[in-house]
Structure 1
Amino acid sequence: MGITQYSLLVILGCGIVTWLPRVIPFILVRKIHIPDVVLRFLSYVPLCILTALFVQNLLIAREGQLPAINYEYFFASIPTILAAIITKNLMWIVVIGIIAMALTRYFFI
């Protein structure tokens, strides 16, 4: 087996391993009735995950000290949050976030 064939098999294997855990739950959930309480709980999960990721990047953890603010992300998050409040359109939020981060890195770093 040549290096090219081996690399292709590794890439395909990684793709399958990544894809399966994301698809199998959808297949299983279609055949099961989920109670309304569980569905309401699950509706909050994406918001919780996004908030955790946002706060994790916004704060810099230092051992033995209070967390500090990552000003690069803080300044980029202001127009992004405003775009989210005003437009409520995910495409605009992402585009404005990318532009805000690029401008922040260009002018402040």
Structure 2
Amino acid sequence: MEITVYSLLIILGCGLVTWLPRVIPFVLVRKIRIPDIVLRFLTYVPLCILTALFVQSLLIAREGQLPQINYEYLYASIPTILVAVITKNLMWIVIAGIISMSAIRYFLY
């Protein structure tokens, strides 16, 4: 497969556009002091993003209808949430989610 200069420039440009927004905040944060209230607010951002992704996977959206519950994911999330509350360990949470999802798909579907 031959790569042209144009294709190489597109790939490098996409890489730069992807890389810059991830690096610039770290450079700026080193130079300024962020107020404590902003830091406290920012600690909730990952939790909000994960919650949005979690709820989005639990609901099935169809045009012109109310969202329906994806019961397969709901059943798998129950033991996963229990492990999360008990252990607060990301590795155990992921393992519990994988095992519960595979068990549900094997035994129920």
Equivalent-residue separation in structure 1 for 2:51 and 2:94 (angstroms) = 15
| 1:62 to 1:12, Cα distance in 2 relative to 1, 3 A | same
Give the aligned length.
109
Equivalent-residue separation in structure 2 for 1:102 and 1:87 (angstroms) = 21
Letter aligned with residue 31 of structure 2: K
5+ long unaligned stretches in structure 1: none
| 1:102 to 1:65, Cα distance in 2 relative to 1, 3 A | same
> What is the deviation of 1:19?
3.0
Q: Does 1:97 align with 2:97?
A: yes
| 1:67 to 1:25, Cα distance in 2 relative to 1, 3 A | same
SS of aligned partner of 2:66 = coil
Equivalent-residue separation in structure 2 for 1:102 and 1:6 (angstroms) = 45
Match of 2:72 in 1: 72
> What is the deviation of 1:102?
1.8
Q: Does 1:46 align with 2:46?
A: yes
Letter aligned with residue 89 of structure 1: N
TM-score by length of 1: 0.81
TM-score by length of 2: 0.81
Please list, as runs of the form range in 1=range in 2, the aligned pairs for 1:6-25 lying within 5 A after superposition.
14-25=14-25
| 1:75 to 1:17, Cα distance in 2 relative to 1, 3 A | same
| 1:17 to 1:99, Cα distance in 2 relative to 1, 3 A | farther
Letter aligned with residue 81 of structure 2: I
RMSD: 2.6
> What is the deviation of 1:107?
2.2
> What is the deviation of 1:11?
5.9
